Structure 1
Amino acid sequence: MAESKPRETDLYVPVKTLLEDQGYTVKGEVGAADIVAVRGEEDPVIVEMKTGFSLALLHQAIDRQGMSDAVYVAVPRGSGRAFAVSLRKNMKLCRRLGLGIIVVRLKDGMAEILLDPAPYKPRKAPRKKARLLREFARLAGDPNTGGATRRGIVTAYRQDALRCLFYLDRNGPTKAAHVAEGARVEKARRLMADNHYGWFDRVDTGIYALSPNGCRALGDYADEIARIAAQ
């Protein structure tokens, strides 16, 4: 027999029980809110429920922040890798929005708070910032259209490979040290040895030439090569 789909109402009793165990008086469908919980003089706790994470759920929860700082979203706890990945991403989003998260295990009616509402304090990532700025500095010109798919994006690494490609096309098989100097690519030896794009062939110790794929790349990237060469 197929398992029935969860309903928002299936979440109510587990969430109500969770909050009552913490000393709250809980009522459902109060004004625009799915659940309101009150304890003494504290800010009311507001919970918005849906059968899964959605923009509609987040929009509703954000609206409720005008009434209280203690706003949670409640969803059923799923299983498997897909749910785990989705939950991790949505926890990050809710943390940024200052929302809490409650998950409900429907098979036994257990509700659990995974995230409490709190003002968002962004954690800086200096290494990522430094890497971003290094890529910005290394990238010659502005070869990409913002918003394009990652496939075919011209990175600083690809530009270095194109510089080596162009140098070998003009000079034939060449020692890696000479390519590094002539193409102005400090790590030319490593780049051609790794041969990430399949553009290079090692024809002797430390000597590289264009592969058949490299010859085709000269045509495929002719515009970018011309632009790099003109700089």
Structure 2
Amino acid sequence: MPIQTETELYAPIKHFFEQRGYTVRGEVKHCDLVAIRGEEPPVIVELKKSFNIPLLVQGIERLKLTQEVYVAFELPNKGKAPQRLQWEDIRRLCRMLGLGVLTVQFYKRKQPTVDLVCEPTPYQLRPNKRASGKLVTEFHERSGDYNVGGSSKQKLMTAYREKSLHCAYLMQQLGPLSPRQLRELTSNMNVSSLLQQNYYRWFIRQSRGIYHLTPSGEKALADYSHVTHVFQTPIIHAP
């Protein structure tokens, strides 16, 4: 039974890596799935409904970030290799490109299974350390996994959006606050820049150095209540 969208691949592949001790996040810096285990380099998985050239190109692009890159797609009917190829052809091709391959088989009455076709092999293109560092930072600054890998044309929960929501939540609970107070409550050293840029238009300056919520900010807190629950810890009222 062919899948309808590539997002259906996300859950079984996430489970596959979590079973191996990884923490997994979806849609991190345009990567469909990122998995990190301890201090190891990040693993990136790109998802497509079927094996095709755009999937390979996407995988090659991710090699700029890490050497641990997989491409993943649904196992074709009856387990045959796609594009009238042999599985050994696909292994050889992806190994030459430095990519690993994962397939997902779906069933009517039981959970999907993930098969490791081949592991990534070293590729001559070295990852961009700066870009890779940004990927890892974005991963660790998110409090949880709020996106489904493979999503498109949807608002994504980024670390920046989370930080903005944290400030909005505190203002909702405590009233107007200064950047200094927010810095102490959130441990975000860049909170002044966040308030001044006001990218989402959630904040308004009530007086010099004092900010409060706009109606858009109130609406965002309601829209993202599934995220703001992580902020609901005992709050010490700001001086």
Which TM-score applies when normalising by structure 2?
0.46
Structure of larger gyration radius: 1
Which TM-score applies when normalising by structure 1?
0.48
